[in-house]
Structure formats: C-alpha cells, structure tokens
Structure 1
Amino acid sequence: MPDDPGELDFLSFVDFAVARTTAELPSVDADAMRLSLTLSRLASALVYDWESTVHRPRGLSWSGFRVLFVLWLAGPLEAKRAAVLTGMSRAAVSALVNTLERAGLVTRRPADHDGRAVTLELTDAGHDAITGAFQEHNRRERVLADSLSKQERTQLIGLLEKLMTSPAAAEMKRRS
C-alpha cells in the first residue's frame, strides 16, 4: 500500500483510509469500515462506468436509466411507487420525469383512483431506449461478474442479500 496519497486511486484508497483511521482511532472497527468503504466505492465505480460507457452516450443519466428500468419491469406505476422502487425522492422522480417526458420516453396521466396522483408509463420509444441500454448495461455487468467463478458469484450474492435483509438495513430503509 502506498503511503503517499498522490499514488492512490479511487479503489486503492480503501486500504490507505483504513490504515490511517485505525492508527489515529484504534477503537474503530476496521473490518466494518473496510466492508462499507469497499461496497460504497465499488458501487460508485460501477455507476460511473455504466453512466459513462452506456447511458450518457444514449442521452440518459444514471437516474433516468433507473426510472426507465423500473417502469419497464414493473409496468405503469404511480410516481410515488416509482420513487420507492428507484430509491429516489418523489421530487427527484418528478423532476426527472419532466426530462424523460420531453424526450418522448415516458408519459404521465392522472391516476385512476386519485386525481392528484400521476401514473407513469413508458412510451414505445422509452421501451426501445431501455431495452437497448440494458443490453449494453448487462454486457458491462458481465465484465465484472466474470472475475468470479459461478460458486463465488452465488456466495457473494447470498452474502449481499443477507446484508440487505438484515435488521440494520431494515432500519436504514425506514429512515429513507
């Protein structure tokens, strides 16, 4: 591990950060810190890769892709449900849908049961956009997944699902 921060990159910073933090604060749980930093940094690196190689060249942002992806798979949804399934705020989804609607990818209409709520739906162009983007997105996913054997993938998925369904994760979801 380099001691000079100028020699670090985004992912190698984890080792450096854990070493420096635990040297100054010995009571810090280094394993928990390493796990959190590694997951966070890997997720950020993946999103950056997908956005720069797949989505931006197609005129989509990462957030736009997430909304289109949810509408593609879950069908027409009220905006508040789309917000929950994308992990975004209602305000963020509303602002994003303005852009997606102008691009002809999404339509919105009053919800059948509540005139104040809106239902979001993919247009044919939106369907074409998300299916084309997802095929390339999945090719990028495979680049990373191919680093692991089938058994390692299964084990990692199981461990990540265990974290996602833990009481701590449930508490985080309640706050969002």
Structure 2
Amino acid sequence: MTTENAADIERLRFLILATQREGSRALAAQLTPLGLTPSQAEVLRLLDDYGPLSLTGLGELLVCESGANPSRLVARLVDKGLIARSSVTHDARQVLLELTPHGHDLATRVRQAEIRFHHGMARELGPRDLVTLISALESLVHGTPAGQAIERRRLHLRGKDPQ
C-alpha cells in the first residue's frame, strides 16, 4: 500500500463512518415521533417481516447490535408493550418473540418512516452509484456477523430463507 493509497483508505474509512452517523441521525429523526430508536425499529421490522422468532434467530438477523443475544433491546420493547414473549411448546427454555397488535401498528409506521428516509437517499444517489456502492460495501462486510445478517435478509426477500 502506498502512502497515497493509505490516505485514500483512511478517507474512505471516515466517509463510511460519517455516512453511517448521518444516516443514523436522519433515521432517528424520522423515528423520534414514534418513540423508537433505530435499533428498536429494526427489531419491530424484523418481527413484522419474519413473524415470530427466537431470541437467537432475531440476533442472527440484527445489524444494529453485535452478538446473537439482544436481550436488553427486546426487554425494552416488551416493557413498551410492542413485543410478547411466549414459550415454545416442546422446549420451555426457548422463547418466541412476536409483535403485539400495537407492535404491528408501530411496525407499519416504522416502514413508512423508512420509506421516507430511503426516498431521501435515492435523491442523492443515481442507480449506477447505488449499484457501485452496494458492491463495494458488500465486499467490506463479507464474512462478518453484520454482513452475514444482511445476506440472510437478502435471501429471505428472495424466498430462499436459510432459517
């Protein structure tokens, strides 16, 4: 790696960090009226898209948190009355998480907020830029836990759910 190349890589690293932070702030602003954080909204959307999931199954799909056990995040949503826990019939130790009726309503509103956020991003990027960025960023996260969660979601959307 040359000195010039190293400077470009560092610039890229800071651009990725800045993009993530600005995107997170913009999404948080869309979610504030709903009383949710981006992480909480991600959980609601996953349960809305996938239906009931185990805590481990949810953790494997989350991008907002590392690790496969989002217990505290789920506990806050249970306390808000958005998620219900139920025991699995054949294994009382395992718990399934599902949206309550209020959670379903809020997940719909989260989806609407995300659509507004996505429209804002689309205004800034052309189709070619989008394809190029996706390809480059997928290369950077390939094989990481977050990259694997994104791939699981992509397969689910294509009807090839690995679960």
TM-score norm. by structure 2 comes to 0.76
Aligned twin of 1:111? 88
Distance in 1 between residues matched to 2:24 and 2:49, nearest whole Å: 20
Q: Answer whether contact 2:45 2:110 (CA < 8 A) is retained.
A: no
Equivalent residue number for residue 76 of structure 1: 52
Structure-2 separation of matches of 1:48 and 1:63: 12
Q: Secondary structure in 2 aligned to 1:104? A: coil
**Residue in 2 that maps onto 1:41:** 18
Distance 2:84 2:137 in 1: 35
**Correspondence 1:54 to 2:30:** yes
Change (3 A) 1:163 1:90: closer
CA contact (8 A) 1:78 1:111 kept: no
Deviation at 1:107, TM superposition (A): 0.5
Residue 99 of structure 2 is aligned to residue 127 of structure 1: no
Amino acid at match of 1:82: L
Say which structure, 1 or 2, has more relative contact order (CA 8 Å, 6+ apart): 2
Closer, same or farther: CA 162–28 of 1 in aligned 2, 3 Å: closer
Letter in 2 for 1:68: L
> Given the superposition, is the C-alpha separation of residues 136 and 112 from structure 1 closer, same or farther in structure 2, using an over 3 Å criterion?
same
- 2:124 is paired with a residue whose SS is coil
Pair 1:125–1:37, CA change in 2 (3 A): same
Q: How has the CA–CA distance of structure 1 residues 151 and 90 changed in structure 2, closer, same or farther, with 3 Å as cutoff? A: closer
Cα distance in 2 for partners of 1:113, 1:48 equals 42
Structure with greater Cα Rg: 1
- Correspondence for 1:3: none
What is the count of residue pairs matched by the alignment? 143
- C-alpha change, 1:33 and 1:135, in structure 2 (3 Å) is same
Coordinate RMSD, CA, aligned? 2.3
Gapped regions of structure 2 (runs ≥ 5): 147-163
Say whether residues 1:66 and 2:38 are aligned partners.
no
> By how many angstroms is 1:150 displaced?
1.9
Q: 1:90 deviation in Å?
A: 4.8
Q: Distance in 2 between matches of 1:113 and 1:34?
A: 52
